[in-house]
Structure 1
């Protein structure tokens, strides 16, 4: 099932709301802007991907 564990940040006036979603044995980070991170087995790594996306400039 979907989980909303990711950080929520604002970048350059555009709101980037990230979530992590479980897909079988994998976890994927997604953003409201359409970005999608790679499938990860570790939830912590998916959350780190989401945070990196939200803070990237």
Structure 2
């Protein structure tokens, strides 16, 4: 497991988007990438399989 602070934008199944952050990455025995994701405001963090189509990584620092 690797701890991080990564801002993201998350798409819900109904098409809505919300901001969130990833606080850790983990790769399981099958090679699948998982992220510890918390959506804003105030939701509890949960492990989700990373899907780049519905979890967009945002810049965490200026250019």
Give your verdict on TM over 0.5. Answer: no
Q: Which has the higher helix share?
A: 1
Q: Which has the higher strand share?
A: 2
TM-score scaled to structure 1, two decimals?
0.37
Higher-Rg member (1/2) = 2
TM-score scaled to structure 2, two decimals?
0.35
